[in-house]
Structure formats: C-alpha cells, structure tokens
Amino acid sequence: MNRTPKSLGALIAGYKSAVTKRINIIRDNLGGPVWQRNYYEHVIRDEADYQRIAEYIENNPVRWAEDSLHPDHP
C-alpha cells in the first residue's frame, strides 16, 4: 500500500511496524501476528465523536459476556 510520506497513515504504519518487530524479538517469534486483523481505526474529529467512543470503551467490557464470540457464551 502506498502512503503519502509524513502523513498520519505513514506515521501509524511506521509505529506499528517498529512495535511488531520489537514484540516479535521479545517473543522470539519473528513474523508472528501482533495487531488485530481488520481493526477499524478512526480519527476523533470532535467532542461528540470523542464522547461516543469513550462511552463505547467504558461500556464494552460489561457487554463482553453477551458477545457471541465470548468463549463462555451459550
């Protein structure tokens, strides 16, 4: 994927690459996955956006037991 140099996307890609290499060296697992696949990244643009995301983060653990992907879900 081509990214514009010095863009936010390029900065994040560089960060994730450096962190992945470091974690895999510590784990002695070169090439192993670190980041969640298909994770949706979102830039917070205003206060309402921030509040919505903060509420999601705060309430998400409570809803985890009800999630169909939870290992103990019936």
- Domain locations in the chain as residue ranges: 1-34, 42-74
pLDDT in tens, 23-74: 999 999 888 888 887 777 788 999 999 999 999 999 988 888 788 877 777 6
Biggest CA-to-CA distance, the chain: 48
Secondary structure of 18-56 in the HEC alphabet? Answer: HHHHHHHHHHCCCCCCCCCCCCCCCCCCCHHHHHHHHHH
Query: What is the residue whose two structure tokens read 């995301």?
Result: 53
Task: Give 51: exposed, middle or buried? Use CB within 10 Å, 0-12, 13-18, 19+.
Answer: exposed
Q: pLDDT grade, residue 1 (50/70/90)?
A: low
Whole-number pLDDT of residue 30: 85
Whole-number pLDDT of residue 64: 81
Q: How far apart are CA 68 and CA 53, in angstroms?
A: 21
